[in-house]
Amino acid sequence: MDNDNHSGQETHVWKVSFVRRLVNSAATVGMACAAILVVTPLVVIFGYLVYRGIGALNWSFLTQIPKPVGEPGGGMANGIVGSALILLIASAIGIPLGIGSGVFLAEYGRNRYGDVVRFTADVLNGVPSIVIGSTVWGLLVVTQKHFSLFSGAVALGIMMVPTVTRSTEEILLMVPQSVREAAIGLGISQWRVTVSVVLRTATAGILTGIMLAFARVAGETAPLMFTAFGNQFWSVSPNQPAAALPLQIFYYATSAFEELNRQAWAGALVLIVLIVGTIGIVRLVASRGLMKGAA
Amino acid sequence: MGVPIQAKGLNAWFGKTQALYDIALDIPPNHATAIIGPSGCGKSTFVRCLNRMHETVPNARVQGHVQIGAVDVYGNGTPAVELRRRVGMVFQKPNPFPTMSIYDNVAAGLRLNGIRNRHKIEESVERSLRQAALWDEVKDSLKSKSGASLSGGQQQRLCIARALAVEPEVMLMDEPASALDPISTSKVEDLIYQLKEHYTIVIVTHNMQQAARVAEFTGFFLMGRLVEFDKTEKIFTTPRDKRTEDYITGRFG
């Protein structure tokens, strides 16, 4: 406290009671513990993957396709490329649909029809992935009479929709009404206001939603079993069965060969790194292109 | 050049609540006209009826006649979007587009209305920022800084520049200085003083000194009705209506 008091009065010193200080430090410690607890599983998982997987991870693992069972070596190059293609097509299906319905819900969805769409999205979000996989199997694989990369992408794309829809809606509702009014007041047409002002203002938040959806489906295995199916060979055709990292991890992990078990760990490590890497790159590119100051 | 504004038999509602009753008002061109009155008296609603912003609120309704220059505002077939390009609006709280640069903010009205000519946009951005007395403060960071990074007073002048860029004939200002500090306020007032050479200005204000400083004409609203409209001098010195006198002498409101 300042003793050099100009008015000559005694300086009043606030006394903080012992109990209050105790509660304060307890709360601080508690929250620090909670924060550590949240980070711990991620660190443990990543550390364990590195520990188990780094041994089988080498250049040929990333560049070669699987060797016939029993032969040493070989890799998951086809799975990496297959997963990338499936996720690319899934995103091309899921993101526009999700953003479109999110915009609809936020800008025109304050009515019964909007409630129906909202409810449907929430239910779809809760449908187990294996059910979505088997439905796509029944609709696409059975009718086309073969497994395919494309059907896998459709299954994952459908799974992305509800997450993107709801997060887009939430973010758009956070764009202040005053920003919309500013645009309307300039004589900008409704759809231009939505696309060029509202969506643009919300880009950072919408990207977060997309990344959540992407990360969620990138590791999905069950829906791909009935659709993309897996492939021991190179194939980039959307009409052929395709290899995918999660599938290969699953098959290798349940295999009787130790070599394949080790490769499963390496595959899991690669999958995590690729997902985190993709999200990191998208964030970096987005933050370069966007102005700071977005809500 | 500014154009006159004429309102006749103007009524407005929010749902079932009537906000404006039978407003008749002639606003002269190339002057500033102040709209004063206590909170909730319909000042904002009135100016928002002039550029058809009122109808963008759910369940809001308007009835009556408004003429801006040669345009019948509520006439059959007058598109609201086209009208708003000719009637600029500045809001109470500065509302720059947060993710756009200073330059993009000012250019937004032109670009989003389909103008692609780079040279023209560049010219218009500089002219508007100069008119809004902001050019010297931002000319070095036009494209590197976001509109939201400016101070409150600068943001408001940016919003004025943004409205000027589409070259309107009328400027509606809804308490443009109420969220600003005294220095920024006086800058905005200076600006209004200069702008009325080229535009018809309607300014809603809570601050009666402000009305006296910037406006030649003043209208006093009370509970959704226009009580009195006259030269500002007249309103503040010899009002005809007892309620106007009570309000400006601070007896209520």
DSSP A57-85: -SHHHHH-PBPPTTSS-B--HHHHHHHHH
Per-residue pLDDT at B167 exceeds 70:
yes
Answer whether A291 sits within 8 Å of B99, measured CB to CB: yes
Identify the weakest region by mean pLDDT among A196-200, A232-236, B148-152: A232-236
Q: What is the 3 state secondary structure string of B87-119?
A: EEEECCCCCCCCCCEHHHHHHHHHHCCCCCCHH
pLDDT of residue A294: 41
Quickly list DSSP for chain A.
Answer: -----TT-PPPP-PPPPHHHHHHHHHHHHHHHHHHHHHHHHHHHHHHHHHHHHGGG-SHHHHH-PBPPTTSS-B--HHHHHHHHHHHHHHHHHHHHHHHHHHHHHHHH-SSHHHHHHHHHHHHHHHS-HHHHHHHHIIIIIHHHTS--HHHHHHHHHHHHHHHHHHHHHHHHHHS-HHHHHHHHHTT--HHHIIIIIIIHHTHHHHHHHHHHHHHHHHT--HHHHTTTB--SS----TTS-B--HHHHHHHHHTSS-HHHHHHHHHHHHHHHHHHHHHHHHHHHHHHHHSPTT--
More confident residue, B251 or B224: B224
Per-residue pLDDT at B223 exceeds 80:
yes
Per-residue pLDDT at A30 exceeds 60:
yes
Per-residue pLDDT at A83 exceeds 90:
yes
Chain B residue numbers touching A185 (CB-CB < 8 A)? 51, 53, 84, 88-89, 91, 163
pLDDT in tens, A40-55: 999 999 999 999 999 8
Instruction: Give percent of chain A above pLDDT 70.
Output: 94
Q: Is B53 on the interface with A (CB under 8 A)?
A: yes
Answer whether B100 sits within 8 Å of A181, measured CB to CB: no
pLDDT of residue B253: 55
pLDDT in tens, B1-48: 789 999 999 999 999 999 999 999 999 999 999 999 998 899 999 999
Tell me which residue has tokens 């993957």: A49
Identity of the residue in A183, A188, A291 whose CB atom sits nearest the CB atom of B146: A291
Identity of the residue in A182, A186, A292 whose CB atom sits nearest the CB atom of B166: A186
**Could you give the dihedral angle defined by the CA atoms of residues A69, A72, A73 and A79, in that order, rounded to the nearest 10 degrees?**
20
Q: Where are the beta strands (DSSP E) in A194-279?
A: none
Per-residue pLDDT at A8 exceeds 60:
no
Going from the C-alpha of A232 to that of each of A80, A117, A237, B45, the distances in angstroms are: 12, 41, 14, 69
Q: Is B144 on the interface with A (CB under 8 A)?
A: no
Write the ipTM: 0.89
Answer whether A185 sits within 8 Å of B82, measured CB to CB: no
Q: How far apart are CA B233 and CA B235, in angstroms?
A: 6
Contact pairs from chain A to chain B, CB under 8 Å: 91
A141 contacts A155 by C-beta, under 8 angstroms: no
pLDDT in tens, B48-64: 999 999 999 989 999 99
Answer whether B99 sits within 8 Å of A184, measured CB to CB: no
Q: Please state the pTM of the whole predicted model.
A: 0.82
Report chain B's mean pLDDT, rounded to a whole number: 92
**Radius of gyration of chain B measured on its C-alpha atoms:** 18
Answer whether B97 sits within 8 Å of A188, measured CB to CB: no
The whole-angstrom distance between A210's CA and the closest CA on chain B is 19
pLDDT of residue A1: 45
pLDDT of residue B202: 96
Per-residue pLDDT at B252 exceeds 80:
no
pLDDT in tens, B196-211: 989 999 999 988 889 9
